[in-house]
Amino acid sequence: MNVEIQGYPSKRALVAKICGDIDHHTAKYFRGEIDKAIRNANPLVLVLDFSEVTFMDSSGIGLVMGRYKIMSEMDGEVVVANPPAYIRKVLQLAGIHRLTRIITDISSYTVQKNSEEEKETSEEVAEDDKIKESDEIEAETYK
């Protein structure tokens, strides 16, 4: 039983990676940790990463619905990511797909620093290219 919380400030996203079983014994712990992180980060998007969930009963449905309610009150959204096939089916049978998106790739919520760094690097390269180009023009002018 574990929940790993990661924030992505520039995307205003919070990812909660849930590991282990979600049942009536563990759901209270998961709810508490996720709710505390929501209060601290004030995200626009809460991503519940189910990739390492090994078992889920109706407490898992309640976990998602409760976070949906909190995020809706904050004008945010909940996304369920990477659920194993049998858990995806349970979520769909419960109608969770009508409240949240169920996705398999969370990179659009987590890839921020690399894209920002790449943008800065490409801007620096473009600036360097402009300087080199102007140097070449000046050199040709003096010939």
Domain 2-111, CATH class in plain words:
alpha beta
What is the dihedral angle through the alpha carbons of 90, 66, 78, 85, rounded to the nearest 10 degrees?
Answer: -10
**pLDDT by residue (tens digit) across 10-23?**
789 999 999 999 99
Indicate the domain borders of the chain: 2-111, 112-143
- Is residue 137 over pLDDT 80? no
pLDDT band at 115 (very low <50, low <70, confident <90, very high): very low
Q: Is the pLDDT of residue 2 over 50?
A: yes
Is the CB of residue 63 less than 8 Å from the CB of residue 41? no
Coil, strand or helix: which one is 20? strand
Q: How far is CA 129 from the centre of its chain?
A: 35
pTM attached to this predicted model: 0.75
Q: Mean pLDDT for the chain?
A: 83
- Reported confidence tier of residue 82, pLDDT bands at 50, 70, 90: very high
Q: For the segment 33-65, what is each residue's pLDDT rounded down to a tens digit?
A: 999 999 999 999 999 999 999 999 999 999 999
Backbone φ/ψ region at 107: left (φ over 0), alpha (ψ -120 to 50), beta: alpha
Q: CA 82, 86, 91, 93 torsion: positive or negative?
A: positive
